[in-house]
Amino acid sequence: MIELQLANDKLINELTPSKLTAFSNLFFYSFNLVDWFQNKCLRINLN
């Protein structure tokens, strides 16, 4: 039972950083997408 718990904790510890990285990558990607979209709209408005 204890061994299973330790294995589970190890799995969670290994997964957590990659989940956070994936989340932050997604966040920055969508932020850049919004930024690009706003710039495109501004250029259209200026023209």
For residue 21, the model assigns a pLDDT of 84
Name the residue range of residue 9's domain.
1-47
How many domains is the chain built from?
1
For residue 47, the model assigns a pLDDT of 60
For residue 1, the model assigns a pLDDT of 61
Per-residue pLDDT of the chain (47 residues; tens, 9 = 90+): 678 778 778 877 777 777 778 888 888 888 888 999 888 888 877 76
User: What does the CA dihedral 22, 27, 30, 32 come to, rounded to 10 degrees?
Assistant: -110
